[in-house]
Amino acid sequence: MNYRDEILKLKKEKNALILAHYYQIGEIQDIADYVGDSLGLSQKAAEANVDIILFAGVHFMAETAKILNPKTKVLLPDLNAGCSLADSCPYDDFVAFKNKYPDHIVISYINTSAAIKTVSDVICTSGNAVKLVNYFPKDQKIIFAPDRNLGGYVNQMTGRNMVLWEGTCEVHDILNTESILNLKEEHPKAKIVAHPECQAQVLKIADYVGSTTGLLKYTKTDDAKEYIVATETGILHQMQLDSPDKKFYVVPSDKTCACNDCPYMKLNTMEKVYLALKNETPSISLDAETIEKALVPIERMLKISKELKII
């Protein structure tokens, strides 16, 4: 079967919008109406006026789309496409943690469950975290969850001392300076770019730190010809499309491959996208109370991001 043609046909027939994250396989990115980072994808989901949103990403992203656009059917090709970072912050444990700091507000990274969003004051993404934290007065006490690496980076960039939840992304947290410096030895002219979910020592040696959209913009507009990329492999597809004459080397997650794949993002395949659109399942369902409560901090994020001209 030619999945590409069948998907594009179904998309038209069913008045569907395909949103894809940069960590999806290239084939999926190529059939999407919009490819972006978590912030851009949330904005597109909020604005969508269609019958179906097919979200080629992971569960928290599709859930956020459903919260922002509850009347629209939101499909996720594989419901097992979770996120280790979101999973590292269970609701009951987080509420007990939050109760220890009654005078703190909670800023949660979008990589959290809808339940965590219901007990957060504002959501952020890697694309707006620093500016969003700076939006609050310097003396505002803040809990930041769940990524301790992103939280530590934001603390450093803003001079804050936010209380951090100790969560990590299993894909970024294992990238190490040794592999990066080995690559740098092989390609001395290459610049290092890193996602802020990487550990502090990796971020310290990076020439640029940013969200997936930030990394793409940087490598497109910067004048170097080679880059060492400390994030998930999927991003190389757009990097190469945007800058066909540049060379990109992904930081390997272990010695057996030159890749660094998120096992959850990579559960989505062209066949699963096709089947999800055809059968209109699996879809995201959330109760009305969760949607109502989780919407408040997400809308606050979008409002502040517009005010600060980040989106």
Residue 21 forms beta bridges with which residues?
A: 36
Shortest distance, CB of residue 38 to ligand SF4, whole angstroms?
A: 9
Cα separation, 291 vs 163, whole angstroms: 27
Cα separation, 284 vs 14, whole angstroms: 17
Cα separation, 151 vs 262, whole angstroms: 21
Contact of residue 298 among ligand 13P, ligand SF4, none (CB under 5-8 Å per partner type) = none
Which of the stretches 88-96, 120-128, 185-193, 288-296 binds ligand 13P when contact is defined by CB under 6 A? Answer: 120-128
| Among positions 169, 202, 206, 277, the unique one binding ligand 13P when judged by CB under 6 A | 169
| Among positions 18, 58, 110, 175, the unique one binding ligand SF4 when judged by CB under 6 A | 58
Contact of residue 192 among ligand 13P, ligand SF4, none (CB under 5-8 Å per partner type) = none
Helices (H), 91-176: 91-99, 114-118, 129-135, 148-158
Report if residue 85 touches ligand SF4, rule: CB under 6 A.
yes
Residues 121-150 that bind ligand 13P (CB under 6 A): 125-127
Report if residue 171 touches ligand SF4, rule: CB under 6 A.
yes
Cα separation, 225 vs 246, whole angstroms: 5
Shortest distance, CB of residue 219 to ligand 13P, whole angstroms?
A: 14
For residue 269, report the phi and psi dihedrals to the nearest 5 degrees: -130, 170
Which of the stretches 46-54, 119-127, 277-285, 297-305 binds ligand 13P when contact is defined by CB under 6 A? Answer: 119-127
Report if residue 173 touches ligand 13P, rule: CB under 6 A.
no
- What Rg value do the Cα atoms of the chain yield, rounded? 19
Contact 287, 93 (CB under 8 A): no
